[in-house]
Amino acid sequence: MRTMKKYFLTASRSKLNFTEQFKDQESKSNLDFMKQMGGWVYMMCSFNHSTLYVGVTSNIASRVYEHKHKMHPTSFSAKYNCVKLAYYLRFELIVDAIAEEKRIKGGSRKKKEELINGINPEWKDLYDEIKYL
């Protein structure tokens, strides 16, 4: 599990090939499993909605809990107080979730706001909907 967490943190911050992340750490069967497992794309926001954070994970409940409790105090989301889950979307394949995260990150603030408004027009904290997933 530790290797998977390391991958997700690295994948959201670089353009390294998926295979390169595991080339000396995992067997081919584990790599195939990682490619097939599902994933989530999500957006966290600050209380006043001035800052947005886009992320990807295989365990949304755990990851959002980490954001809300600032488990990584030097991270962007902790520094800018992004503690409200404003948007999330499930993918069957983690590679599809990673591609969507990159697409969203590359878009404008307006496009991100449109995605949030599409499922959460009040910008309420959606954590209660996913905390037991």
Q: Assess contact for 3 and 23: CB atoms under 8 A.
A: no
Give the C-alpha separation, 125 to 123, whole Å: 7
User: What pLDDT was estimated at residue 133?
Assistant: 81
50-63 residue pLDDT tens: 999 999 999 999 99
Q: Which domains can be identified in the chain, with CATH numbers? A: 38-130 (3.40.1440.10)
User: What pLDDT was estimated at residue 19?
Assistant: 46
The yes-or-no verdict on residue 129 having pLDDT over 70 is yes
Give the C-alpha separation, 54 to 39, whole Å: 14
- Compute the mean pLDDT over every residue in the chain, rounded to the nearest whole number: 84
The yes-or-no verdict on residue 127 having pLDDT over 70 is yes
- Once rounded to an integer, what is the mean pLDDT over residues 37-44? 95
